[in-house]
Amino acid sequence: MIFKNKYNFQTEKITFYLFLALLVWMPLPVGSNRVWFLSIAEIWLFILSIMLLFVYWQGKLEIPEVWKKAKVIHFLFIAYLCFIAFQLIPLPAFFVDLISPNRLTSFRLIFPDNQWLSLSENHHESLSFFVESVFYYLVFIFTLLLVNSRERIKLLTWTIIYSALFQAMYGSLMTLSGIEYGFFFEKYTYRGVATGTFINRNHLAGYLNMGIAVGIGVLIAGLGKDEVLRTARHWYRKIVRLLLSKKAQLRVYIALCTIALVLTHSRMGNTAFFVSLTIAALLALKLTRHARKTMLFLVVSIIVIDVLIVSAWFGLDKVADRLEKTSIDTEQRDEVAIYTFAQWKDYFITGSGGGTYQYIFPAYRGYEIKQYYDHTHNDLLEFASETGVVGITLLISIVLLSLFTAIKALSLRREPLMIGLAFTATMAILALSIHSFVDFNLQIPANAAMFMVILAFAWIARFGSSNSQLRSP
C-alpha cells in the first residue's frame, strides 16, 4: 500500500512537470499555429489527462478548495463546449430555419431535398474547433488542480517568465543582428521587427504582455513592508540587498521583455501594455494595503526606466510613428470588421460554426479587400460570427467573471503571493482583452493556452489556500 501511494504521488508530480514542459513547448513552433504542432500539444495534454484520471480513480488526487469555489466558471466553460458540440449535431431543417435561416439557405443550394443538417457550415473545421476548445478547458483544469501549493505557484510563474524571456532575447537578437530566423526557417515576413518564434509580431507582443504581467506579479509578491529609511546608511543597505537578490535579476528580465515588446513595433501590443499596467497598478494601490509605496515606486520605475529611457534606444519612436500614421484610410481592419459584423448578423444567434470564418468571409468582403483573411483582426467579432450571440456571451462572461475575481482578490487577500497573482491576472486579462479588439491573439494556440493559465490564476489568487505548509512539489 505504501508503494502504491508513493507511485500515485509520483505520477501526479510527473504530470505537473510535463504540464510545465507543454507550456514551454507551445510557443516554440510558430506558437503552435499549425495543425501538426497543435495536434502534438493536444495529444500531449490528453495523455496527461489519462495519467491524472488514473491518480483520481485511485483516490489519491487532492482536490483543492479553489476547484470547489470555481463552480460557476466550470459551468460556463461546459455550457460553451456543449454549445459547440450542438453546432455539430444534425437537426431537422424546420428547426434550423427558426434559429439560423441563412444556414438553411446555403445548405439548400447543395442539398435541396435533405431534411437534416447541422448548424455549422463546415463540419470538419467545427469538429477540430471543438477538440481545440476542450484542450483549452483542460489547460484551465490542470492549472487549478495541479498548482496546489506555494512552491508550485512559484514554479509555474518562473516557468512562464523564463519562456517569455527566451522569446524576448531570441526575437531581439534576430532583429538587432539582421540574421532573422523563426522556428528553424528564415523569416519572409515581418523582417526588421521582433517576432520570436512566432510568425506575427503582434502575437509575440501578446505573449510578452502576459509574461511581463507574471514577472511584475512575482515582484509585487516579493515586496516587503514599506520601510521608513531615515539615514543614508539605511538606503545603502537596502540598495545593496536589492542588487544581490533575485528581485534584481527579475527586474532585468522584465526590462529585456519590455525592450523586445517595443522591438515588435506592435501598436496595440505596446498600447495594451501601458494601459493595462496603469489600470492594474491603480486598482492595486486603491484596493490593497500591501507595500503601497514600494509598489508605486516599482510601477513608476518600469514606466520611466524601461519605457521612456531604455526602450527609446530600441525604437519606441517607431511605434509612436506607426500610431500617428494609423488612420481609416491606411487600415483595412475596420473594413474587415464591418464585413465580419455583416456576416455575424446573418448567423446572429448560433453562428456559422466554430472555425468556419475563413470559409464564410470571402462571400461578405467587399471588392476593395484584396488580401486573404483567415482571421479577422478582432477576436470578439470572429468568435461572435462563428458561435453567435450564445457563444460570445458565454466567452465574455468567462473573461469578465475571472477579471472580477482577480480584482476581488486584490481587495480581500492579504498574503503577498496571492496579491501578486491577482495583479498578474488583472493586468494580463486587461492587456489581452484590449489587444483582442484589433488582433487575433486568442486564435493562436500558445497565446490562448497561456490565457487559460492566466484566467486560472485569478481563481487561485481569490480562493487558493494561504497555508504555507502545503506539500511541496
Report the pLDDT value the prediction gives residue 371, as an integer from 0 to 100: 81
> How many residues are present in the chain?
473
Res. 4 pLDDT band, cuts 50 70 90:
very low
What is the mean pLDDT of the segment spanning 441-461? Answer: 97
Report the pLDDT value the prediction gives residue 230, as an integer from 0 to 100: 52
CA 449 to chain CA centroid, Å, is: 6
Q: Could you please report the per-residue DSSP string of 318-370?
A: HHHHHHHH--TTT-SHHHHHHHHHHHHHHTTTT-S-TT-HHHHGGGT--TT--
pLDDT exceeds 90 at position 136: yes
The Cβ of residue 472 has, within 10 Å, a number of other Cβ atoms equal to 10
What is the mean pLDDT of the segment spanning 430-437? Answer: 95
Report the pLDDT value the prediction gives residue 176, as an integer from 0 to 100: 85
Rg of the chain over all Cα atoms, to the nearest angstrom: 23
Res. 422 pLDDT band, cuts 50 70 90:
very high
Burial (CB count <10 Å: 0-12, 13-18, 19+), residue 458: buried
pLDDT exceeds 70 at position 468: no
Taking every pair of Cα atoms in the chain, the longest distance, rounded to a whole number of angstroms, is: 88
Contact by Cβ (8 Å): 386, 443? no
Contact by Cβ (8 Å): 206, 435? yes
Which helix (H) or strand (E) segment holds residue 22: the answer is helix 2-25
The Cβ of residue 315 has, within 10 Å, a number of other Cβ atoms equal to 19
Contacts of 428 (CB under 8 A, 6+ apart): 209, 210, 213, 214, 276, 451, 454, 457
Contact by Cβ (8 Å): 201, 195? yes
The whole model's pTM is what? 0.91
Give me the residue label for grid cell 490564476. Answer: 457
Cα separation, 160 vs 213, in Å, equals 10
The Cβ of residue 416 has, within 10 Å, a number of other Cβ atoms equal to 17
Per-residue pLDDT tens digits for 335-393: 888 999 999 999 999 999 999 999 999 889 888 887 888 888 899 999 999 999 999 99
Per-residue pLDDT tens digits for 382-414: 999 999 999 999 999 999 999 999 999 999 998
Cα separation, 25 vs 170, in Å, equals 15
Percent of the chain predicted with pLDDT > 70: 86
Cα separation, 332 vs 329, in Å, equals 8
Res. 112 pLDDT band, cuts 50 70 90:
confident
Res. 254 pLDDT band, cuts 50 70 90:
very high
Report the pLDDT value the prediction gives residue 192, as an integer from 0 to 100: 86
Percent of the chain predicted with pLDDT > 90: 62
pLDDT exceeds 60 at position 240: no
Shortest CA distance to 339 belongs to which of 378, 365, 362? 365
Report the pLDDT value the prediction gives residue 470, as an integer from 0 to 100: 39
Which helix (H) or strand (E) segment holds residue 130: the answer is helix 123-146
What does the mean pLDDT of the chain come to?
Answer: 87
